[in-house]
Structure 1
C-alpha cells in the first residue's frame, strides 16, 4: 500500500499535462460563459469540453501505460484547449460589431479546434483501456459526436455579410445603404440604436482593427478594410466634424457654376439622364428600364445599331453610373451653396420658390440633408420663423422637421440656435396649418434627450400643449399627447403638467362623470402605458379613491376595469404602500372571497393586484411602517387555500404574493404560519406539474420555507419521490432560478440518515458535482447554484460517517473544493471550508503509520516513507482526506482575509484541525509555513465575538511553543491586552493566560 501511495504521489510528465489540461478545460468553459456573439456555437463546443473533462478525469484514475501515442494525444489536447480558451476570451472581450464581421472566421476556428481535439482523442490507445470499457466507450462516442459537430452562423449574420459583400462589389456609395447596414448590425448584436451609442461602438471597432488576432492572411485584412470603409460611409456613425471637413474640402474644389451633363449621360431611348445605365451585347448603353421595356415589346435588335440583342446580357455600366452620380452630386452642392442669398432676400416669392427647391433637395437624398446643415442653413431657416409671411414660416418649419428627423445631432444643432425653441413654440398659437407644422417639429425634436428639456423650459409651452391635447383635432391632440409624454421624462416638466392639470379632466370624469364616462376613464387607466412618474402623479392626485369605490359597483365589467387600473398603478411600490395604508387590501380580499364572484379574469386581476401590494412590502419604507397585507393567520390560510382552486395565472400570483411577504419585515411569522398549515405538502405537489412558471415559483417559496424551519414541520411531506423530483429538476431544467431554488431546497433538507440515503440512491452526488464543476445555470444565477450545491454537499462529509466521506472523495470532489476556495463566492467558500473541516477531522484516524526501514541500510539510506508533515503517518487525499496533501492549506489561509464572517470562521475551523491535541507542534509549523499565523492574530480584533474567541483559543495553544511565541508574540500583544480589558470574563481569563505565555503577565496576575 505504501509503495502505491508513493508512486501516485510522484506524477509522471503525462499526468502533469493531463492535470493542466483538465484545469485549462474548466477555465475555457468559464470563459465561454462570457461570450455573447456566437453563443450557440460556443455552447455546443462547451458541451464537448465538459464531456472531455469527464473522460480525462476518469483516464487519470487508470493505470495506463505512458506510450508515445498517449503522450502525443494529451499534448495536442492541452495545446488545443489553450487555443480554445484564448478564442473564447477574445470573443468575450472584443467589440460586438468586430465579432459579427468575423463570425465566419470564428466558426472556422471552432471547427478546426474541434477537429484537432477529435484527432487527438483518436490517438489514445483504447486497447490499453480494457480495464475500463466505460472510458473507452465514452471516448468513442465523443469522437463520433465531434465528427458530426456542426457550427454555423445565423441567418441574420449571413444576410448582413452578404449585404456588405454586395455593397463592396457594387461600390455602393449611397449612405442610406450604409445606414441600413449599421442598424441591422446594431439589432443583430444587441446594441442601442441611439446615435451616440452607435458612434461609441464603431469607434471602439476602429481601434480594434489593428489588433486582429483572428485574421490569418493579407486577403482577409483587405476584406476587413473594405468592410470598414463601407460601414463608415454611414452618417449615423460619422462625427459631424468629419462630415463637415470632407464636404467642405470637396465643395471648395468644384467652382461656382453647375456643369451641363455629358451626352453620354442621356439614354438614347428616353433622352433622359440615366439612373441605372446598362450595356447591351451590341456595346451600346441604355437606361435599364427603357431597354427592358424595348425588349419586352418584342424588339430584339439594338435601337442604335440594329444588331440583334441577347436579352440575358445586360451588364451594369458601373463606371458611367458613378460618373453620373458624381456629376449630380457636384451640381447639387453648387446649387445648395448658391441658393443662400436668394433665401435671405427681401423678395417673398423668390424666398418661397427657393425654399420649395431646398425642400425637394432634402427629400431627394438623405446625404443632401447633411450638405444643407454643413452649409450652415439652420440659423437662416430659424431666422425665417420670425418672418411676417406665414407661408415662409411654415415652409421653414417643414424643412427643419425633415432635417431633424432621425438625426439627434441635427436636433441638438437646431435647439442650440438662439431663440430657436421659442420661435417654434410661438408658432403653436398661430394659424392651424402653421401650428400643426410647429407641433410636428417640436415632436421630432423631443425625441432627443437633450432637446426635450429645452422645450419644456419655454414659458407657457406645457400649458399650450395641454390645451392642444384636449382639442377636437384628433391628430393634433394625439401629437400633443405624445409630445407631453416625451417631455414627462424631465421632473420639471412633470411638475408643469400637474400645474396645468394634465390629468385633471380624466380624474374628474372618473369621480363624478356618467357611468359610461367612468367606464371609459377607468379603462384608459387600465390599458395606457404610463411612466412611473405618471403613476406617482396620478396617486398624488388621488386617482385611487374613485377606483376603490368602483370595487363595490354592481356591474362586473366595471369592477374588472377598476381592478385592472389599480393593478396598473400599484406596480409602483410607493403606490402599493399607499393603498395598504388606505385599507385597499380589505376591499380586495372582500371582492376575492365574494361568493357571487364568478369571473375568472376578475379573480386573476384581484390576485395580481394583491401580489403588487405584497411586493411593495419589501421596500425599505415598508420596513419602517411594518406594512403587511395580512391581519391574522386566518388571512394567510384563506389565501393560500385558493392555490388548489384556481388556474395557473392565479396560482402564480398567489405564490408570488407569499414569496414577497416572506421577504418582508414580517417574513419570519409568514414562513412559520405557512409551515404550520402544511403549505409544504401543496408546494411538493406543485413541483411535479408541467407549468414551468408556477413550478418555478412554487420551488422558490418551498426554498424559503426550508431555510429557517423546524425539520418536524415538513419532514412528513418529504419522501423519496420528492427527492427524485428535485434532483430531476436540477438535471433537466433550463431555468437557472429554478435550478438554484431546487438545489437550495436540497441543501436545507433535514440531516436525517433516511433522507441522506434517498439522496444517494437518486444520484445526488453526481448532480452536486455537476453543479459545482460546470455551474449548471447561466451567469446571472450560477453563483447561487454553486453556493447551494456546496451547502448540500456538507451533509455527505460529516466525520461520523467515513464510508460516506470516502464516496465523496472517490467522486473527485476534493480538487474541486480546493478550486472553489479560490474562485467561489464568500458563501461558497464558507460551505466548502465546512466540508474540508469535516474531512480533516477524520485524517488522524485514517493516516497510516509510516513503515520504518530495518537492517544495515538504515544508516546509509534515507527512508522513502517520511510520513505526513502534520499526521506523521502516510497520507493521501484519497486515503486520509489530508488537507496538506490536497493543497488546501494556503487557499484556506487566504479565506481568513474574507470580509464574510461565516467564510472566515469556517476556514479557521478547518485550519485549527491541524493543531488539535498531539498535532500542535507539527501543525503549527505547517500553519507558519503557509503564513496563517499572522491572519489568525489579526482575527483577535474581529467584530465577531465567536471568531475572536476561536482565534484566541488557537493562539493560546500556539504560544505554548517557544519558537512561535518569540516570532509572533509581539504582534499579538496589544490585541490580547485589549481583550483582557473589554472581553467577556471567560475571554479575559484566556487572554491573560496567553499573555502569561508571552511573559507579559505572571501566572499569578489578577487577570487570571
Structure 2
C-alpha cells in the first residue's frame, strides 16, 4: 500500500524535477544539520554523508539513468528522510538544552535510523543501468558507510546520563547528589553555575517536559517526571534566602525541648519506637518486622489481646508512620538548636560532647548541615578554633569541613568571619591530626573563586602549604598541591603588599620624626586613598592612633588640622572608631570643639565629622559586646547638644547625625530619655519649622526627632507638637527630595500621641491625602520606602479605631482600604501587621454598618448578587460604607499571613479574621473561614512560640468546634497540637486545651498522656 502511494506521488512529476526537489531537500537538511547547537560532531558526520549524496544526485541527473519506479521510490525516500532530519535539527536548535542533553540518545537513535533509511533509498537506484562505473562505486561505498554508521554521545554526556540513571535507580534524594548532577549538566551545556541561570534552565526544561507529554508514552513521560523530581532536589530551584526563611518558619513553630514519644509510637512487642507500623485485624498496631516474626512462629492470636485472629493480613498505618517521621524530624531540629548554647560553656567536656553530637548530625544528612548553617553555627565554630583544648579545635575544623564541602556559600561565610583564615592557618602549624584537618578545610575553601585570592594573602599560609607538599602523607601532599594550583596571585595582591610595606616607615616617622616630618606624614594619612583593610591595619596593628592623638594637643594649628583630617580618614571604619573611643580620643576632640580660641571654624567642622563617625561606630554589634558608648554623663550630653543652638549649619548637622546614631545604639534608650529631659524636642521642632533653615540641617533634625519619638511618652511631645508642627511635617513628606527625611517625618507622624486633638489636627491638615500619596508613590528608594510605609501603615491605625465611625469613613473614602489589602500581599511583616490591625478595626464596625436587605432582587453583597446578602453580615456590604473585609477581598491574604512566621503579623491577622465569627456571626463566619481554608493555619498556630498566639488560636478553635461539621472536619488535625499544649502549656492553657479535647470527644481516650 505504501509503495502504491509513493508511486502515485512520484509519477506526477518529471524525473529532472524530482532530482531537483530531492537535491533541495538534501541541501536544506545539510544547512540545518550544520546549525545545531547540540551533538555537533554527530550532525557534522551526517552532513558529510549528505554532501556526498548531493554530488551523486548531481552526477545521476546528468547521466542517462533510466526513469524507473525503483529510482523514483529511492529519491522519494531520500527526500522524506532529509526532511525528517531537517525537522530533527530544527528541534535541536529550538528546544531547551537540558532536554536535548537528557534525550541525546533518543536524538542520535533517530539520526541513526534516518541514516539507515537513506542507505536503503540509495539501494533503490538501479545500478545495473548505469554506464559510469565510477558513480556505481561511489554509491556502493556510501551505502556501506551509511549502514555501518553509528552515532554516540560524548564521554561527558554519557557521564551525565549514567548519573541520572543511577539516581533514578537508587532513588538518591541527597541534595548534594542533585547539585553535582546539575553542575555536570551546566558544564556540558555551557550555562553559568549561578542560582538564577540554573533555575531558569530547569524551569524551561520542566515546561518542555509538559509540552512533550502528549507525544510520548506513559513510561517515557513518567521517566521525564522522575528526572525533573531528581533535579529539583538540588539548590537550583531554591535560593539560600528562601530556604533560610522556610527553615525559620519551621523552627519557630517548634518548642524548645524535644517531645516525648507518644505511647502509640511504641510497638507492644519490641517496646521501641516503630519504623514501619502496621495494623492487624484486631485493630492493634505493631512494628512490621516484629509482627511478621510473631506470625512466622505459628502464632495466630493478637499479641496484645490474645484474641484469635480471623486474618493475618497486615495493613500499613500510614498516618501513624507519618506522625512518627514528623516527630523525629522535629526533635532532630530541636536537638540542633539546643546544642548551640552548650558550645559556649566553660566546661570543656560538655563542649567536646556537644561537638561530637553536632559532627554526627552533620555526617548523618546534608539537610542537618543546612540546618546547622541556618542556626548560625559557623561564627561559633570559628571562635572555637582559638580554644586552648586541641580536641575542641580539631572537632571544630572537622565540622567546618563538612559544612564547606558541598556549599560555595558556606565557603564564603567561613572566610568572611573575623580572623577565620588566620585561625585555620595557625592550625596548619600544629600537631599532625589538627594540621591535616586544617589542610582539608583550606582545600575546600580554595575551591571557591571568591575565597582563594584572599587565602594567598594570609601571612605564613603559602609557606606552610609548601612545607606540607613534601609530607610523607600522600593525601596531605595531594591536598597541598591542589591548594597551590587553586590559588591565584593577581597584580592587586602585589599592590596591597607594597602599600603594607610603605605604611611601616610612615608610621615610624609619624611617631619619631621632626615636627615637619610628622606634619608631612599626617598630611599623607589624611589624603591617601585607603581600603578598609588598610585603615584597620593602621589602627589595630600599626599603632597610628597614639601619634595622631598626641598631635591633637600640639600648639601648631596646622598640625592639629592635619591630625584631625587623618583621624577623619580613619574613623569612618567602625572598628577604628571604637578603638579611638577606647584610647581616649574624645577628650582632645571635645576640647577643640568647645574652645573657640584653640581652633578655626573649619577645624571645628572637621572635628564634628570625626565625632559623628565615632558616634556611628557605637551603633555596631562590637560596641554592644564591649559596652562602649560615646557620652557617659548627662553633662557631656548637655554640652554637645547645646552646641546645636550656637554653631553653623555644618557643625549642627554633624552633631544631629551623631545623636541620631547614638539613639540607635544599644545605649539608645538612655540617650533618648536624657535628650527628652532637655529642651531637645523644642529645639528640633524649631529646626524643622524655621523656613530659612538649610535643608541638610532640617533633614538631620527630622531624623533625630524621629528617634526621640520611638519610645517617648505623650507628655514629652504634647507641649511642643502643635498644628504648625504637624503641617510642617506633612509638608516635608509631600515636598522633600530626601527620601530618608520624608520617611522619618512619616515615622514622627506614626509615633505622635494618640490624642484626639492631634488626630483632628492631622485630619484637618490633609494627613490622609498625604499618607495615601506617600504609600502609592512607586518611585521611592526601596529601603527608605519600606520603613516609611511601615510607619504610614502604623499611622493609619489611629484613624481606624471602631470608636469613631466618622474617622473610619474618611479613611475609606480616600480609598485606603484597598491599599491596606494590597499591603497584606506585598508589604513587609510590620506593614502587614499594621494593615491587619486597621482592617480588624474596620471589621469590628461592619456588623452595624451593613445595610439591611430590602425587598428587591437587585442588590450588592460581598461576593455576588443573591437573595441572602453578605455571607457573614447578611446585609448589603460595601467597602466604603460598611468596611466589610469580605467585600474588600482581604480574607485570603489574611489567611496567608497566618503562615508568614512574623508573630505580630500573625496575631493581627488572626484578630482580623476572628471578627468574622464574633457573637451571632459564628456559623456564617465559620463557613467563610472553611471556604478559604483558614482553619488549618489557625490549628498550626497552636505550635507557635508565642503563648499569646497559642491562646488566641485555642480560643478560636473552642468556638469553631461548637459547630459539629467543623469538629468532624478538623478534629484529627487539631488533636496532636492540643495534646502538646496539655503537656507543655501553662496551667490556664492546659485546662483550656483539655476543654477543647473534651469537645472533640478524645479526652478519655488520650487521658493517659496528660
TM-score, structure 2 as length reference: 0.50
Q: TM-score, normalised by structure 1?
A: 0.50
